[in-house]
Chain A
Amino acid sequence: MSRNVNRDLIEDVTLSNEEIRRYSRHLIMPEVGMEGQKKLKGSSVLLVGAGGLGSPLAMYLAAAGVGRIGIVDFDVVDFSNLQRQIAYSTADIGKSKLDAARERIIGINPNVHVETYETQLTSENALNILKNYDVIIDGTDNFPTRYLVNDASVLLGKPNVYGSIFRFEGQASVFYAKEGPCYRCLYPEPPPPGLVPSCAEGGVLGVLPGIVGTIQATEAIKLIVGQGDPLIGRLLLFDALSMKFRELKLRKNPACPICGDKPTIHELIDYEAFCGITPQPTNGESLGQWEITPEELKQKLDHKEDVFILDVREPHEYEICNLEGYLIPLGELPNRMNELDSSKEIVAHCHTGVRSGRAVEFLREVGFRKIKNLVGGIEAWAVKIDKSVPRY
């Protein structure tokens, strides 16, 4: 079977009596059996990202008996991770995710060999890291890394098990350019920065990465044991609110720049630039005339200057915490801008400054001249100015 990514690796693999006992529910199914279980033990999987998707992936792949699991991440466990990143517990807060994940994996199955890469995946290191694994799993949270993982997987001829989540909705597929389309066939180009909100901005239902991550784990296991129909050439869509799965056909694009008939990409590129991300100005140095820092705003308020605070978040966010600003959610701004007095000095804010940045841009376009964006949003205000404001 060409799909069997691991066919040469089982000859030297043996299972101990303890392992046979551990994997007995696999072994008694002919689709896995001793052969499939040995393939799992002889296989290696790389998890790019140890967050919401990476958590269930690491745990289930460890439990299933994948012999070697590599993890790439450079984050530490934060309070706000625990709502969904089930590999971590409250006691892990502040710990490196890689250390915590390793402990969790070994706790589940000490037979697993864990390899960790405490780094951001980059065009410089990606091929070197990915080349040592049979299956690559994309559990990242940003477009540049998704295109990087895709391109590196295509160049190395590895299957890339894809999963992506937003609020109540998820997508999953298997990109395997040898046999079907790749991520670029699905989406030739990324959206411009800021147009599609991230989970940190838009939120995500805690169990959603559990569902999508376990779908990815299932696909990885199928690829390794060589059973079933993988999600190659199919895009699975899941909507938790309607509790519906749908499937769309995914075709290999003959004009795909990396896996098409005449590829133009032969090596990894600058993915930040590809995704339109320009380096951020360093702190405090080149603040635009349309921006204001929390410290500056505090000063103005202390001096009782007449500043109108415009909050462009959603009403449910306003309920969590607010600066007693005037609430107009970003989406309603075009229809409600007549409620604003353009002769007054206006400071717009949101959670972290992204949405209010868009609000300021929009209001400038329609002629507002005394409008500024609060850099870092209410989050920066809570950190720098008023610790009584809850962070979310």
Chain B
Amino acid sequence: MATKVLIPTPLRQYTNKADVVELSGNTVGELLEDLTERFSPLKKHLFSEDGKLRSFVNVYLNDEDIRYLQKEATKVTEKDVVSIVPSIAGGS
């Protein structure tokens, strides 16, 4: 089962420039595990050393923040779209 995960601009340098990656897993956590296995340099950008999702990286299932769902245990289907939205600060 493949679910689309949207990769934001700052992280595309770690995914061979791909903006969408199709990944397999039943939960958001499994998808992210699959993602960081495929693109290992991404791991330190998404997870802290103790394996927690970093607090400046938000993950959405469709338009909902997974913090307000079941976090990484949030179930996904093929129809869902998962987005990674890191904080950016540029403005000048």
Contact = CB atoms under 8 A, between A and B. Distances in A.
Interface residues of B, number: 28
A202 interface: yes
B34 interface: no
B85 A190 contact: no
B91 A163 contact: yes
Nearest to B64: A249
A279 B40 CA distance: 32
A196 B10 contact: yes
Interface string B58-92: 10100111011000000000000001011111111
B65 A146 contact: no
B91 A140 contact: yes
Given A165-B88, A186-B58, A251 B68 contact: yes
Contacts of A25: none
A247 B63 contact: yes
Taking chain B's interface residues, is the majority helix, strand, or loop, or is none over half, making it mixed? mixed
Contacts, number: 111
Contact of B88 (A49, A52, A81, A171): A171
B87 A143 contact: yes
A45 interface: no
A286 interface: no
Interface in B1-32: 8-10, 13-14, 19
A189 B55 contact: yes
B54 interface: yes
A85 B92 CA distance: 8
Contacts of B88: 164-166, 169, 171, 196
Given A249-B64, A331-B41, A168 B90 contact: no
A243 interface: no
A171 B8 CA distance: 11
Interface in A142-195: 142-143, 146, 163-169, 171, 186-191, 195
Given A187-B56, A248-B85, A138 B91 contact: yes
Contacts of B8: 169
Contact of A196 (B14, B40, B63, B86): B86
Contacts of B45: 195
B9 A187 contact: no
Nearest to A147: B89
A199 B85 CA distance: 17
Interface in A318-341: 331, 334
B92 A166 contact: no
B41 A164 contact: no
Contact of B56 (A53, A163, A190): A190
A294 interface: no
Contacts of A200: 92
29 contacts: A52-B91, A85-B92, A139-B91, A140-B91, A141-B90, A141-B91, A141-B92, A164-B88, A166-B88, A168-B9, A169-B8, A186-B87, A189-B55, A190-B56, A191-B54, A191-B86, A196-B10, A196-B86, A196-B89, A198-B89, A198-B90, A202-B90, A235-B85, A237-B85, A246-B83, A248-B65, A248-B83, A250-B65, A334-B40
Interface of B: 8-10, 13-14, 19, 40-41, 45, 54-56, 58, 60, 63-65, 67-68, 83, 85-92
Given A52-B90, A141-B90, A163-B91, 14 more contacts: A54-B92, A146-B89, A166-B88, A167-B10, A169-B88, A186-B87, A190-B56, A196-B10, A196-B86, A200-B92, A204-B90, A239-B19, A246-B63, A249-B65
